[in-house]
Structure 1
């Protein structure tokens, strides 16, 4: 069941670090990009979901994103584009404009900003148990992990000195790259090119997002790692299903794919979903005290299912209205 969780966790992590761990590990190419993009595009229906929160002098749009997309997927509807254009301020999970875009296949060194993020990640992720990452695994899990590393083209000892969450991020990035998924095609990166001149804010920093993973108990991290290792083979299939629900504007379908699986581990659920959604609802409540129009773009799982941002807004007496188009 937790195999689905890695979709949410990996997407968050990849959005935050923009591939620096992939640079550390290895780079791979996939020859299936166009076919997968076509399959995802066939799912097109009404479009990704959009909500509006408003009072007498403030309008706040809530738009759920997917941090990675297949190339060529046409998702930006006129309704969403108009909401974005009309907004004075753009708010996202992190400010992706501070992270330069980088193609590992270019053969050029990563920009200093990416190297700084990588160094931060590596500093947080240093294993302090006195052994190696593989020493923390039972015999069965270790064998599965080493097989997955070999299948991804990575040395089995590459992450021995790091905590499980770092291995999850790096391995997921390689797996997604092989599957033809690229953060540069994600919604946030595309929106970056459409908001020039707007005031910009972010709910979190890259370091905070990495801290969510680093703060997880070791047992939760090891469970996530084992489940993600088992799920790499079907990652693309699950991701295409998630993108299909997103394009169709079906938050309940998204919740069933992402959030329901996360509920299997209450600590993960609280860390990656509940606490953050609660904080963001508080930000929205405070922002309603200021006039203007705001466009908020966060991972679609945060606006779907139980304990969504909208649920926590309701607890504050604030209604988020779904915009039909």
Structure 2
């Protein structure tokens, strides 16, 4: 699976959090947790799926934890079958004959973009439009946090908490009305709202991250999308982390990278880890 296709999944899985501004690395404190369970250790990093060169090097504590770990764990690892799955999904959900005024106006200005993506499922079109906008701000999927560690984990064991096939099936199951709304929101979301997300991730502002995720997916007091794409996935991912920790040799650690939106709030991965008996604390906060 190529890197751009991999980004399609991350962009629409509540993990669309990116960084901005060339701040000094000493000020960066993205969501990063130490998890301890029955004498075993894991480091849990909230990820973003696009990046800029000034993201790197990441803070020393993150790099050190990765270097000392023997296993990298991500939401989903690309495999040879993923491209085939994406190709099969291309006819799953195209735009309806009646297009919104927002979409028509966008395509008048960006005709080549719309022609290139019109055969894709609607949720994927929304992801590509978002990607198109952010590339103009200097972001790129090759520099996303997930890809950064996958590319560096050649000598480490790699594990996944879900799969690309599962994520693709989940996204294709979103109802058509909601997918059309995704496209309109990808077109009209103001730049300053994206900037709020960037700053929140880079500062590790968990309350802001949780608030923005809820606002973006909870339309008209309808939490169906939030429940499907975020909350219902968090308990299985938490269970997967606990299972991997149990199988880790004493004296070693695992390094887990999942979307930052999955780590914050009452239904978060961290919440379920604590319920399972794990001790979870921010690496940045002193006892």
Could you tell me which runs of 5 or more consecutive residues in structure 2 were left unpaired when the two chains were aligned: 12-17
Residue in 2 aligned with 1:86? 68
Change (3 A) 1:311 1:172: same
For residue 66 of structure 1, report the CA deviation from its aligned partner. Answer: 0.9
Change (3 A) 1:119 1:290: closer
Residue in 1 aligned with 2:42? 60
Alpha-carbon deviations, 1:98-126, whole Å to 9, x = none? 5xxxxxxxxxxxxxx6xx75553242141
Is residue 41 from structure 1 mapped to residue 23 from structure 2 by the alignment?
Answer: yes
Question: Tell me, what secondary structure is at the counterpart of 2:266?
Answer: coil
Superposition TM-score, scaled by structure 2 size? 0.81
Alpha-carbon deviations, 1:81-100, whole Å to 9, x = none? 1211221111011225x5xx
For residue 213 of structure 1, report the CA deviation from its aligned partner. Answer: 1.3
For residues 50 and 38 of structure 1, what CA distance do their matches in structure 2 show?
Answer: 18
Of 171, 186, 211, 2:144 maps to 186
For residues 183 and 247 of structure 2, what CA distance do their matches in structure 1 show?
Answer: 43
- Asked whether the 8 Å contact 2:161–2:237 carries over to 1, the reply is yes
Residue in 2 aligned with 1:274? 231
Large movers: runs of 4+ above 3 Å: 15-18, 116-119, 155-163, 237-240
For residue 187 of structure 1, report the CA deviation from its aligned partner. Answer: 0.9
- Asked whether the 8 Å contact 1:69–1:181 carries over to 2, the reply is yes
Structure-to-structure mapping, 1:223-234, within 5 angstroms: 223-231=181-189, 234=190
For residue 127 of structure 1, report the CA deviation from its aligned partner. Answer: 4.6
Superposition TM-score, scaled by structure 1 size? 0.73
Question: Tell me, what secondary structure is at the counterpart of 1:271?
Answer: helix
For residues 38 and 159 of structure 1, what CA distance do their matches in structure 2 show?
Answer: 27
Change (3 A) 1:321 1:37: closer
- Asked whether the 8 Å contact 1:44–1:247 carries over to 2, the reply is no
- Asked whether the 8 Å contact 1:133–1:159 carries over to 2, the reply is no
For residue 200 of structure 1, report the CA deviation from its aligned partner. Answer: 0.5
Of 86, 102, 110, 1:121 maps to 86
Is residue 14 from structure 1 mapped to residue 7 from structure 2 by the alignment?
Answer: yes
Question: Tell me, what secondary structure is at the counterpart of 2:255?
Answer: strand
For residues 71 and 124 of structure 1, what CA distance do their matches in structure 2 show?
Answer: 32
- Asked whether the 8 Å contact 1:43–1:247 carries over to 2, the reply is no
Residue in 1 aligned with 2:277? 317
Change (3 A) 1:41 1:57: same
- Asked whether the 8 Å contact 1:53–1:60 carries over to 2, the reply is yes
Count of matched residue positions in the alignment of Structure 1 and Structure 2:
271
Structure-to-structure mapping, 1:210-221, within 5 angstroms: 210-221=168-179
Could you tell me which runs of 5 or more consecutive residues in structure 1 were left unpaired when the two chains were aligned: 1-10, 19-35, 99-112
Residue in 2 aligned with 1:286? 243
User: RMSD of aligned C-alpha atoms?
Assistant: 3.0
